[in-house]
Each structure stands twice: as structure tokens, then as C-alpha cells.
A and B are shown apart, each in its own frame.
Chain A
Amino acid sequence: MAIPVPEFIPLSEIPRQLSAALNRRDLIRAGLLAAAASALGPSFSLGQAVESGLTPAARGEDGAAFLTDPDWKPAFLNDHQNETLIVLSDVVIPATDTPGAKAALVNRYLDLLVSVQPSEFQQEFVAALKSIDTGSQAEFGKDFRDLAHEDQIWLLTAWAYPERSSHWTERNDPHTKPADLAQQHFHRLKALIAAAYYGSEIGQKELGWDGEITHGPYQGCEHQGPAHK
């Protein structure tokens, strides 16, 4: 495959179908471990595997536990920013027949993410949140989180459908980007919210994930002749 340079969470990293049945997974792993250890012979011992250099993931830690900590406090956002983000994320991705961004704790993940980014990223994020309020104040004289729900939708809808130029344009062509600064801020926030939502377990289930690890083997195209659909 070509070498993608991830700029933000790439689509390929939005978690793949994976097992909710962790117990089963652990059982499989334990069995394989014993097989691996014996296959590798006396030069290996399981002790070597844990001596050092394992990532938290490789140690099997569930890094998502902080999200549901009853004593959770923002690491980066102030209360106003946090509340604005909760309201904004839930207007962009509301509960429908599945839970929305608020239930997926999009704000908590993004707070953590932004807290460990370079200051330039942090400043952009804060500026983007502020820009939502600036737009809201200009239209309605109130901050975004205090608007009526239909006014929140009205405001965001104006930004949410950018004009598209010709598709015969080079990637990263400036003409394909929304020209308006507020719109750019909104799209940056929307992309982060979408990545945080669809990267969550709730978001995966919204996409239809059944909680299983594998669904193989890949069957490919089964059409006869050139009639692909």
C-alpha cells in the first residue's frame, strides 16, 4: 500500500471490527502463548516478554477507563469551553436511534487529545470554539450553548454545506477549502468530533459493528462479467 502519513486519525484507524468478548480473546491468547513458548525453545522464556518495553496496549490496559471516571475533570478545557463542546458535538452528531456524541463522551476524549498536543494545535482548537460563539453572538446575541436548539442548527447549517469546486483539482488545492474563516474553524471541529465519535465504541456500533473480531475470509467480487454493482 502507499505510505499514508496520518495527519489526524485516519479512517483506517477508526477501530476495526473487534471483539467485545475479551474473555474469549484472552483464552485464545493464553493457549497460543503456551504453544509459542514451547515452539521457541529453551532460549525463550515468558519472563523475557514482560521484562521491559511493552506499550500499555501490549500490557492489555484498557486506556478508555478514564472516560467514565466519576471524578473526571477536564485536563485542558475550561468549563465554558467544555460545555460548548458538549453542546456543539451533540448538534453535529445527535442521538437518533443510536446514541450521539454527548453519550459517546466526545468532549472528554477531545479534552485529553488536545491536552497533549503542541500549543499551536491547542490555540487553534480554542480559537475554533471561540469562533462558534463569535458567530452565535453576531447572529443571536448569545453564546452558542445558550441558543435555542433550532438556532444552533440554523447557525451550523450555514457552515456545514461548503461549495465544492471542480473535482479536477489537485489535492490540497486551496480552492477546495472553505474560504470563510469561521467555516474553516467549524470544519476543523466537525472533523475532530466525527473522529472522536466514530472512534468510540458507541460510534463503532452506530456504524453497525457487531462486536466480533473477524468476519473472513474476504470473498471479493462475485459478479459475473463486467456487471459490477
Chain B
Amino acid sequence: MAQDPLQQTYDAIVVGSGATGGWAAKRLSEAGLKVALLEAGRAVTAREFTEHMPSFQLKYRNHSPEVMRTRPIQRQCYACMEYNYEWFVNDLENPYSTPADRPFTWQRLRVLGGRSLVWGRQSYRLSDVDFKAASRDGYDVDWPFSYTDLLPFYDIVENYVGISGAAEKNEMLPDGQFLPAMKMSCGEMRLRDSVQKNFGRTLTIGRTAIVTQPHNGRAPCHYCGPCERGCMTYSYFSSPFTTVKDALKTGNCTLITDAIVSHVDMNTSSNKAQGVTFVHRTTRETKQVRAKTVVLCAQALESTRILLNSATPDYATGLGNSSGLLGHYLMDHVVGGGASGTFEDLKTPPSANPPHRPNGVYLVRFRNTPKEGKHPHLLRGYGFQGGSMPEFNMDAQGIGADYKKAVKVGTYGVSLGAFGESLARFDNFCEIDTNLKDAWGIPALRISMAHGKNEADLMRDAGVTAAEMLEAAGAKNISLTTGTEMPGMAIHEVGTARMGNDPKKSVLNAFCQSHDVSNLLVTDGSGFVSSACQNPTLTMMAITVRACDQLINRFKRNEV
């Protein structure tokens, strides 16, 4: 008989089984450490994937009242659907609060794999323009490491995950280890050529965590389209079928699902973490797991919540919070600026039987680059995600047979939507709401964040530059948006336990280790010092591997 998993002392507890937790479990268990991987939700298998189910088989065709009732916040995420809403948290069971004038949408999953099941899969490296941004423009502080330090770990992650993409030799967006790129449409080729010729800017096919050739036992993409509903060939990267699977295969990793971690348990005499306490999701029993180290990978806000809920007499404002910065510097990419139009002279009609490329194009940041120099009033910059494809035109004018015909003639659309850097600011933060608990009795968060003037200026600029680029490429019917969406909409929240070399000015060191508690690590997006404008998951995974390798070395040297 196997030992009771709760009666052992592990080398490491990993909290969270998503993109970063999966990597931590894999890396540590493959190095021979005994790992307990705790996941707040249940296990997921391919049985419940719905990517090949037509939406006419959904009773409400994605307008289920059950989603409206139980996921009023989660449904703001494009990926939360009648197909898969049970993967997302039930908002009634998982409350949080915000000030009335500072709304924040917090979109999260509690199942094995977490958000890696439904993520957007766009995978971009940060560059030293990002890691050393403060040295360039004087705003805030640099990261405690450089691109060169992270580069080997980007390589490790990309080689394993499988990122399809194209090399561009653009210093803002370092090239990586790419599988064959997906192809561009005519409209995208035209836009790429035009922005290069007229503006000297780089547009490339999206770098996406989808394999385009057999890779580590996973089959290439079959272009069915909706990855966020699962993938029977595991072609897009999600942790349950890759990193977590590898971790379990070692025999060194014990998976404990339905374990909602409430706090880290401290041994106050040694000032070391000794494990975690969790509430079982279905039985509501409170249980403990013991380990020599604790690695939080629960997602920035959740990991921060666990630390805030782990206050002790020595750390009265939250575990590892001697700096007073825990929970502060919350960032989420600003979105909302962009433009769309049509290429009226591109005559390829839309097809009801196309290969669905689950990927778009990416236009690399061009504001405040070494090449273009300092912008007169904007700090940092934004990149665009977009695409151009023929589409059926349900908005066609008229009625009757003419209307049916016009729908099929379609339009050749083109669009660009910006993701802008969110500046780190102390007054964007989360804290414990002392009047609010979740369904398991765990104190909930109060999140207080608003985008500032620079974010608004970036989106206004992005709307105009997008329209200019579409116009130069020959698009018609151009419309632009210049506003900012509510924080949280980018689902790129980072920064609430920032890394740094100075324990007075940061929560974690450069290896994601708590300055205050040496056997406590946080390796999700919490440690980000700046948000940059690139999608963060690839960097989170690389940081996790770097932190885990450091931890393994500490184990080897008996320093833990």
C-alpha cells in the first residue's frame, strides 16, 4: 500500500498545477526531490474536451443561464463558454472585492492545469529593453537579472513546450527555439510588407505554444480552431498532459487535487516554512502537508493571498512582508487601443471549411526602442496582436436571397489590438478584505487597481498608429478604438511580490526566494518587476525553471 500522502515530509510542496506549477513539479521531481503537487481543483482528462463539438449542439449556443448565474465575472473572459465554464471558478464561491471606482476583473481556473488549459498560448521573450527599462527611462527599477541570465531557461522551456514562430532579428523581441511557423494570409502578408516598407516596423506570425510537427510525443496541430476547449492531440501546451505528466512519471511527485491552500505554516523558532494548510474542496476538512520547502505557483494574486493569509506574530502584515511591498505593484497589460478595417480588393471569399489557424500575427513594439529613441511623452510601449482573414458578413445589408448571398460574399477583415505596458505603481495593490471569505472560509482579496495616464496615452496612441498602418496598407472602412479596458481584462496580472536585490525594496530575490523566509519561493507572475508588453507566461515558466535549478543546487549543497 502506498503511504498516506499527508503523513510524509516532502522535499518540496508546489502549490498550483498550471504553467509554472507544472514546471516546478517536473523540474524538482526529475532532479530526485520528493514533491507534493497541490491543486485546488479536480483532475481533468481528455474525456471532457469539447473542441470538436458544434455550437449548434449547445442548448443555448453559448448563452447558458448557468454561466450567467454562476460565472458573471468569469464570462468576461473570451474563453469561458457554455462548453467549458466548469473549468472556471464559480464566482459565487470565490468572491473578491474592489473599490467601487476601481473595478478589476479576475479570471481564473481551479482544475488541474489551471489557466494553461485555456490560455492564449502567445509566447514572447522579454529583452534587456524590458529587464533594464528603468536604466533607460528612469521610471522605477530594473529587474535583478538580465536577458543573458534568463536566456538558457527560455531555451529549455521553448525546446520542451514547442513554440511555433519565425525569427525576425528584432532587438525588442529576441528570437528563440522555434518549431516551423504557421502561415500568414494574403491580408497579413500585405500588412507585413507595408508596415516594414512605410514604417520600418516588424510584423511576424504569432509565436504560439502549439506544435506544428510531432514534438515530445504530442501530435501537430490539426487546425480545428478552439484550443480553449481542449485538444485531443495535446498540440497546444497545457500542463496536465506535459509537465505534470512528466512529474508523475518520475515516481517522485504526489499529486493532491481538491486541496485549497489557505496558508503557509511556519516554524517560528527556525523562521522556516514547514508546510501548508489546505481545505479539501469537497469534504471541507482542514489538513496539513509538511515539506522542507514551499514553492507557490498559484498565480500572482492567489499566491499573494496565501502569503497575506499566512501572517504570524513575526510577519504581522503577511508572510515575507518585511519590506511592506507584498501585494503592491499589481500590473496587468492595458488593452483597448486598436483599429480594424477591410481589404476591399482582396477577393478570396470566406470558407465554411477552412483550416482554423489558432493564432494571429504580432506587431513588435516600436515606441521607445533603441532604434527610434525616446518618445516625447509616452513611457514604454505596446505590441499589437491581430489578423486578417475573409469573414462571413452577417452585417450585410438587405433581406431575402440578396442578403443570404451577401453574407457569403463576405468581407476581408483586418485588425490590430494593442497590449500595452502597465507601469508598476505602489498604489495598485491587493490586500485581505477582512469582511469577506470564500466558500471554504478563507479570507478573500480586495483588489484595488486602475490604469493611469501613461496607460491611457499608450492606448490612444495605439488606436491612431493602428489606423495609420491599416490605411497605409490599403484597408478601407477603418474604425479605431482608443480607450482602456478594465484592469484584469488582459489576464496578465503580475508583480505583487516583486523580485529585487534589496530586501527593503522587494519581496523576493532574483531566484524567486523570499528575502525573509529562505525556504519559501514564489515562482509565478508575482515576482515580475515590470510588465513589459509581451504576454508573460513564457517568461514565468523560464523564471520558474531558473528558480527551481537554484533550489536543486541548494538541496545538493545541503543548504535547505
A: residues with CB less than 8 A from B are 1-6, 9, 11, 13-19, 25, 28-29, 32-33, 36-37, 39-41, 43-44, 46, 48-64, 66, 91-94, 96, 98, 109, 112-113, 116-117, 153, 156-157, 160-162, 167-171, 190-191, 194-196, 198-201, 204, 206-210, 212-221, 223, 226, 228-229
Give the residues in chain B near A18, CB-CB below 8 Å. Answer: 52-54, 224
Query: Provided the pairs A33-B47, A200-B56, A217-B223 are in contact, do residues A161 and B86 lie with their beta carbons within 8 angstroms?
Result: no
Query: Provided the pairs A170-B479, A220-B185 are in contact, do residues A1 and B417 lie with their beta carbons within 8 angstroms?
Result: yes
Give the residues in chain B near A48, CB-CB below 8 Å. Answer: 42-43, 45, 257
Q: Could you tell me the distance in whole angstroms from the C-beta of A160 to the nearest C-beta in chain B? A: 5
| Interface residues on chain B, size class | 35 or more
Instruction: For A57, give its contact among B47, B65, B84, B338 (CB under 8 Å).
Output: B84
Number of A-B contacts (CB under 8 A): 289
Query: Provided the pairs A16-B225, A17-B352, A160-B397 are in contact, do residues A58 and B48 lie with their beta carbons within 8 angstroms?
Result: yes
Q: Could you tell me the distance in whole angstroms from the C-beta of B148 to the nearest C-beta in chain A? A: 31
B228-242 interface (Cβ within 8 A of A): 232-233, 240-241
Q: Complex: how many Å from CA A184 to CA B391?
A: 24
Give the residues in chain B near A1, CB-CB below 8 Å. Answer: 120, 360, 385-387, 417
Q: Could you tell me the distance in whole angstroms from the C-beta of A216 to the nearest C-beta in chain B? A: 3
Contact present for A199 and B61 (CB under 8 Å): yes
Instruction: For A3, give its contact among B47, B53, B245, B485 (CB under 8 Å).
Output: B485
Give the residues in chain B near A64, CB-CB below 8 Å. Answer: 56-59
Contact present for A2 and B386 (CB under 8 Å): yes
Q: Could you tell me the distance in whole angstroms from the C-beta of B173 to the nearest C-beta in chain A? A: 17
Contact present for A33 and B45 (CB under 8 Å): yes
Give the residues in chain B near A209, CB-CB below 8 Å. Answer: 352-353
Contact present for B480 and A171 (CB under 8 Å): yes
Q: Which 10 pairs from chain A and chain B are nearest by CB?
A: A220-B183, A2-B417, A216-B223, A63-B59, A216-B355, A228-B186, A58-B48, A116-B65, A208-B352, A15-B55
Instruction: For B186, give its contact among A96, A208, A229 (CB under 8 Å).
Output: A229
Contact present for B415 and A204 (CB under 8 Å): no
Q: Complex: how many Å from CA A156 to CA B491?
A: 43
Q: Could you tell me the distance in whole angstroms from the C-beta of A36 to the nearest C-beta in chain B? A: 5
Instruction: For B43, give its contact among A25, A32, A49 (CB under 8 Å).
Output: A49
B478 within 8 A of A: yes
Q: Complex: how many Å from CA A120 to CA B291?
A: 54
Q: Complex: how many Å from CA A80 to CA B130?
A: 63
Contact present for B335 and A2 (CB under 8 Å): yes
